[in-house]
Structure 1
Amino acid sequence: MPDWMPFSSELFFTRGLRIAGILVLALVAGRLLRTLTNHLIEHAAAPTRVALLREQQTRTMAGILYSTGTAILATLALLMVLGELGLNLVPVLTAAGLASVAFGLGAQHLVRDLINGFFIVFEDQFVIGDTVRLGDTVGRVEQFTLRRTVLRDAQGALLSVPNGEIRQVANLSRDWSQQFVDVFVPAEVEVDRALGLLEAVAAELRTDQDWVAALLDGPRVLGVESFGPAGVTLRLQVRTVAGRQHDVARELRRRIKARFESEQLPLGTERSADLQTGTYGSS
């Protein structure tokens, strides 16, 4: 019997069984990892988000953790299999370490993007569907990966922002949104009468069943915001569910204009013919 037969038998039977066991354990661990990550993330998420956005966050976070865990398991399984085959792992690990250092030095921006992207998801700073301000860029999040965030701005432009360049996040659609509506009233209109009309319009909107579901607070008339020789600026405030502030503000402006027209009162001047608004959200 040739000398290589005992070695061959050991390799294909004893070591073969060990290698098969390692692979089976790795597969089982991968399945358990997917189950555990989905379970833990679903129960850890705070129930304060829209169901669709929470589902997206859970799916994204689970995918990240599963991919990372799978890579670690695959690496460990590969090293164990190489060890069972009798290979010297020291040169392999040394080469892998040198390759990692070289890759890290040559791809620092990519690594920074990936790390920052992970923390954006982990800390729930925003998810797909949110309207955010990233530095000077404002838009709706249409796509998110660990490397970049894709926004659609008000003009319809698609903007790609590397996650590593994101230093400050302002989430404009988290939990609630707020809108200010400024109404310029000419000097010839009595201020108290104008305030009374605004109060009436605000009260009507607060009790309108078509809009109650979108309102959290107000509309409320705050009073005189500013004044000058040409007239005064009156301000209203309304707090809505996330993302509905613009719809409510448009309806409020429409009703204000209609009420002033019915009372035959002028509204605005050439320099402020439209009702000016300001908006912000809070996280």
Structure 2
Amino acid sequence: MTDTSAVSVLAFDWAQKWHNFWHGTVGEWILAKGLQIVLLVLGAVLTARFIGWGSRKVTRHLEQGFQAGDALVRSEASKHRQAVASVISWVAIVMLSVIVAVQITNILDIPVGSLVAPAAVLGAAIGFGAQKVVQDLLAGFFIITERQYGFGDLVELNMLGATEGSVGTVEEVTLRVTKLRTSDGEVYTVPNGNIVRSLNMSKDWARAVVDIPVPVTADINRVNEVLHEVGRASMEDRFLKDLLLDEPSLMGVESIGLDNVNLRMVARTLPGKQYEAGRRLRALVVRALGREGVVTATGAGPVVDTLPATAGAKPDGKPGSDSGR
């Protein structure tokens, strides 16, 4: 009987304490304000995740549309839309965070008037420290609105304090930073406020420039004819026909050296495809000059290692003999 009474008293004490806790100051604050704060933060987290999901869905949709199409490069509108989607999601999450912070302040009944003076001092201190962030945001805003470059563009960015520019493909553009992936697979993260000059090498169209050194003893007229033939044939080449926008043109003699004459050929290509087209065009030029027996000096540019079989033979088809014998 005594044990049963003790258990009843203990259970009654715990029930009474639990009742008193939820009807006390702390319990009432948790039910009245704490629960609101928890629900508000939880809703903000879910909303932020939804915004991120929506941004990724738009990005994947643009990516699938590009891969499903016949285009070899992205359109300028697609690049801009992808950059804008990234920026909108970032701005939406920042605004959501600010709104949630203001709502929590109202729930906690923090007097805003009493925070004016400390906020002014804190704002001035943060202003001096965050002026670089503001500069990055403004620079990013103009980069995106002016469409200087977008996702997938091949760019060169010159920055303050850097001796040389950073070259790579744009993987992400936000209001604060630009991320570039180099040809070696490395990723540069460049603050937008540090960019003093941007060179977009894949906007609308690009140009492949091929310099061709030939010996000064070569027949320039014949070399020009061969290069014109290469230009016409390149439009039917299975690798080049989809990359070239028009027939490559021969600009003529670019410079004259002691041993070589440099001729220049240029071709308009799809944006970002100038290097690929240039490599293929050089291969065609080397092959055509090799068939004509034109060999450039070693180290001066594209080298033809072998001559046609008739170049080292006499007219009767027998190999030439040493004159000293």
Q: Normalising by the residue count of structure 2, what TM-score does the alignment of the two structures yield? A: 0.63
Identity %: 28
After superposition, residues 196-275 of structure 1 pair within 5 angstroms as 196-266=225-295, 268-274=296-302
Match of 1:56 in 2: 82
User: Structure 2: which 5+ runs fail to align?
Assistant: 1-28, 60-73, 159-163, 304-325
Partner of 2:96: 70
Is the 1:178–1:238 contact (alpha carbons within 8 Å) kept by the matching residues of 2? yes
SS in 2 for 1:246: helix
- 1:159 is aligned, of 188, 199, 209, to 188
Q: Which residue pairs with 2:167 in the alignment?
A: 139
Q: State the distance in 2 between where 1:68 and 1:157 align.
A: 29
Question: Which gives a bigger RCO, structure 1 or 2 (Cα 8 Å, sep 6+)?
Answer: 1
CA shift digits 1:161-214 (9 cap, x unpaired): 322211111111122111211111112211110000000011011233542221
Q: Which moved more, 1:126-135 or 1:68-77?
A: 68-77
Q: After TM superposition, list the pairs within 5 Å mapping 1:51-200 onto structure 2.
A: 51=78, 53-54=79-80, 56-78=82-104, 80-81=106-107, 85=109, 87-135=110-158, 136-140=164-168, 141-154=170-183, 157-200=186-229
The amino acid that maps onto 1:235 is R
> Residues 216 and 93 (structure 1 numbering): CA distance in 2 closer, same or farther, change over 3 Å?
farther
Structure 1 or 2: more strand by fraction:
1
- Aligned CA distance change for structure 1 residues 76 and 217 (closer, same or farther; 3 Å): farther
* 2-structure distance, mates of 1:126, 1:258: 37
Q: Which moved more, 1:150-159 or 1:62-71?
A: 150-159
Q: For residues 54 and 110 of structure 1, do their structure 2 counterparts lie closer, same or farther at Cα, with a shift above 3 Å needed?
A: closer
After TM superposition, give the deviation of residue 57 of structure 1 in Å. Answer: 1.3
For this pair of structures, how many residues does the alignment match? 260
Change (3 A) 1:160 1:62: closer
Amino acid at match of 2:143: I
Q: Which runs of 5+ in 1 are unaligned?
A: 1-10, 276-283
**In the alignment, what sits opposite 2:7?**
none
Letter in 1 for 2:165: T
- Contact 1:131 1:138 survives alignment (8 Å): no
Q: 1:50 to 1:249 in 2, by over 3 A?
A: farther
- 1-side partners of 2:258 and 2:134: how far apart? 58
Contact kept in structure 2, 1:218 and 1:237, CA below 8 Å: no
Over the aligned positions, Cα root-mean-square deviation in angstroms equals 4.3
